[in-house]
Structure 1
Amino acid sequence: MSSNTPLPPRQRSGAANATVRTNPPKKKKRVWPRVLYTLVLLVIVGLGAYAYALWRQLNGALDDASAGAATQTVPSAEKAQVKPIALVLLGMDYRPKIGGMNTDVVMVAAFNPKTNTATVVSIPRDSDLQMPDYKRQKINAFYARYHSQSDAKGDAADAYARDKMKKMLGEFFGIDIQYASVLNFQGFVDIVDKLGGVHVNVDKNMRYVDNADGTNIDLKKGDQTLKGEDALGFVRYRKSNRGTAASSDFERNERQAQVLGALVDKMKSFGGLTKLPGVIDVAGKNLVTDIPKAQITNILKTYYDINREDIRFIPLTGTWKSPYVYLDQSSVSEAKKALAEELSPEGRAAAAANADGK
């Protein structure tokens, strides 16, 4: 070999292992979009399953509550989305230990779909309505009386009593009342508990014990969250046998309005919505109504988002003279006007404007 043969070029450090790439490197698969898609899909499926289960539960509860009206159809012109409606709301003081069917909560409510508002009038339980052609007795005793007068039994007797209450209160307020609902006090207790309690301002110390039916009201004054039994005691409290101040029917009505408003707020919260299945279940077991199942669905669709501020509470006032409450006619006139406004096609604002323009 000649000494003049050139040597191969010196390689730099690491160059010996260098390779020539003929194809671009493969990109790593992006896993995150697939994971995100899967999570979204699972959420959608989960919500769908939850909605389906909730709808089935709602259907079952409506079948339970709509006694004799589950399959009734609602004409288009009568749907809650189109026409204002009025109904009687009765809270029944039924306790198995002592029996009885007194309706110690008596309310008339009107709803207007145009304005998404409502008016709720509460009537003291001892009121003497002083209506011609009606027996003189406390208003809370009429439902039981009608029930006993019915020739039928069971559901048919309930329906007869509801119809009579609608007729009487419709005549008293001068409006057409289409529906009536009766909720027993145990249903109220269960609904409050299912919602995790209700926040109210207890206006005074309340203490009352009745061993005959197990009543034990023991509340301290102040803002607080009440569980079901305590909330029931709060709205029922009238007298004390343990040294606290008594309470009037008018104060009871104000407390009922406070609790009803607080329940509306609770139901609209996220926590309330998640507890809706339990509320539906206990309501179906403890509520009896003649509102057709289809119309209840219409009402829920129309007023699910109603604000507490858009519900006008009007507790009737009067004078107590044993054994009756004699209602102030100015209070009754205010309630009649408010209900008529709510039931006008355009709602309360338009009705008030028309009245001012006359």
Structure 2
Amino acid sequence: MGNTTGGGLPPRSSGNRGRSAEAAPPRRSSGSSGGNGGGRKPPTPKRKKSGAKRFWTIFSIVLILLIIGAGVYLGWIYQKSQSIGEAGEPVKPANTQPIAMALLGTDFRSETGSHLTDVVMVAAMNPNTNTATIVSLPRDTRIELEGYKVRKVNAYYPTFLAQEKKGETEAKEAMQRMLGKYFDIPLDYVTVVNFQSLRDIVDALGGVDVDVTMDMCYKDTADGTDIDLKAGPQKLDGKNALDYVRYRKTNCNPPTGPSDDFSRNQRQQQVIGAIMDKVQSFNALTKSGSLIDAVAGNTDTDLENKQILNLVKTYWDIPKENINFPKVTGTWNSPYVYISDSELAAAKQALKDELAGNHQPAVPAAGE
């Protein structure tokens, strides 16, 4: 099993790959929007859509690509990548059969010990069409699902971790069952990545060149946050790159400007672009070993080693237009986001269509 810095999990007690999602009633109240569930009036105003979806989607792909660097190193890197994933043969080889997996991005830092999954995505991939569909849930999504206590979606993983420590089901397997039931599809795998991975990857690359868009200053002694960036072109190390994409507000004197979600989205894509530039350079390929170590040290997955190789070989050159990101938004009424029923239903159907080989092309948003 892959390890996780500061938050490693014990070995899996039993496999759960390739099985259907936990049995569930044909139709249920899961994922129902608070807008009309139980007579709840849709709250207003609408909360601005987070930029985390595109950032973590691309970032998760980058993490997978970093495992191999480039085809010329495939044999050596396969040996090196044994530190990621599990042994054994995949039940459903990703190069011949469609698979679905959950991707969780946790805000784990040694300073806080938090395992909240600020990123929750489900990806379905089909090798026969060389396409993929990725659905991202807002972290504050209210989950109302038969057999589970009502919570924000980002609170389930730490809850399952606590139960795992008491001898109950392993946390990743519990997330696999819960999200499979919520989306009404069988999930084959779960991969958990923490924010430390971004910092380690940038450091393994020797830093990335970024034109910082504005002065940023924010300090928090409770969790060790110390953001202090000046506007202008510069090379960011891992710590400053993570600060750059996380910055929201200031508490310094003199104060720096605030950042909205749209600006954060732009910065996140900017840093990912800088990482991709480095990864695709020859210099980065010579550092594949340290990059794999950076990924392995911050990734916990039940993917088999051979399945990881299958994924890389199959989807290495997937065109971006072949990836569909169904929109899932909702309305904010503290402390929850109440998901749109129609958007959630469409997203569920898109995942099912992907697995069935009926990929639905992405629909550009207005203004794109």
Q: What is the TM-score of this pair, normalised by structure 1?
A: 0.67
Q: Residues of 1 paired with 2:101 and 2:221: CA distance?
A: 35
Give the SS at the match of 1:332.
helix
Q: Distance in 2 between matches of 1:318 and 1:254?
A: 22
Shift, 1:296, TM fit? 1.0
Aligned partner of 2:84 among 36, 61, 65? 65
Provide the rounded CA distance (Å) in 1 between the counterparts of 2:111 and 2:316. 37
- Tell me which protein shows more helix as a share of its residues: 1
Task: Give the aligned residue type for 2:90.
Answer: V
State the TM-score, normalizing by the size of structure 2: 0.66
Q: Provide Cα deviations, 1:179-205, integer angstroms capped at 9, x if missing partner.
A: 001112212211233345567897876
Q: Which residue of 2 aligns with 1:213?
A: 223
Instruction: Give how far 1:260 is off.
Output: 5.8
Which residue pairs with 2:111 in the alignment? 97
Unaligned runs of 5+ in 2: 1-69, 364-368
Q: Which amino acid aligns with 1:84?
A: P
Q: What residue is the counterpart of 2:145 in the other structure? A: 131
Structure 2 CA distance for aligned equivalents of residues 292 and 130 of structure 1 = 32
Is the 1:88–1:181 Cα contact (8 Å) retained in structure 2?
A: yes
Q: 1:116 to 1:328 in 2, by over 3 A?
A: same
Q: 1:173 corresponds to which residue? A: 183
Alignment partners' CA distance in 2, 1:52 and 1:120: 29
1:88 positional shift: 0.9
The question of whether the paired residues in 2 share the 8 Å contact of 1:203 and 1:221 is answered with yes
Structure 1, 237-246 or 323-332: larger mean CA deviation = 237-246
Q: Which has the higher contact order (CA 8 A, sep 6+)?
A: 2
Q: 1:287 aligns with which of 282, 290, 299?
A: 299
Q: Does 1:308 align with 2:328?
A: no
Percent identity over the alignment?
46
Amino acid at match of 2:202: V
Distance 1:261 1:291, change over 3 A: farther
Superimposed CA distance per residue, residues 148-188 of structure 1 (whole angstroms, 9 cap, x where no aligned partner): 112567xxx7x711111111112222221110011122122
Residues in 2 aligned to 1:264 and 1:59: alpha-carbon distance in whole angstroms = 23
Alpha-carbon separation, structure 2, partners of 1:168 and 1:257: 30
Q: Is the 8 A contact 2:80 2:289 kept in 1?
A: no
- Written as runs of structure 1 = structure 2, the 5 A alignment for 1:247-286 is 247-248=260-261, 267-268=279-280, 270=282, 272-286=284-298
1:82 maps to amino acid:
T
Contact 2:161–2:171 (Cα < 8 Å) also in 1: yes
1:140 paired with 2:166, answer no
The code of the aligned residue for 1:165 comes to M
Aligned to 1:47: none
- Find the residue that maps to 1:172 and give its secondary structure: helix
Give unpaired runs (5+ residues) of structure 1. 1-49, 353-358
1:149 aligns with 2:132: no
User: Could you say which residue in structure 1 is the equivalent of 2:340?
Assistant: 328
Shift in alpha-carbon separation, 1:120–1:135, aligned structure 2, 3 A: same
8 Å CA contact 1:268–1:305 kept in 2: the answer is: no
For the residues of structure 1 that align with 2:213 and 2:328, how far apart are their CA atoms? 19
Supply the distance in 2 between the matched residues of 1:252 and 1:52 (Cα, whole angstroms).
36
Q: Could you tell me which residue of structure 1 aligns to residue 353 of structure 2?
A: 341
- Aligned equivalents of 1:138, 1:310: Cα separation in 2: 31
Instruction: Name the SS of the counterpart of 2:142 in structure 1.
Output: coil
**Amino acid of the residue matched to residue 245 of structure 1?**
P
Any residues of structure 2 matched to 1:231-242 within 5 Å, and which? 231-242=241-252
Q: Which amino acid aligns with 1:174?
A: D
CA shift, 1:220, in A, is 6.7
Across the aligned residues of Structure 1 and Structure 2, the Cα RMSD in angstroms comes to 3.6
Task: Give the match's secondary structure for 1:348.
Answer: coil
| Residues 1:331 and 1:346: Cα distance change in structure 2 (over 3 Å) | closer
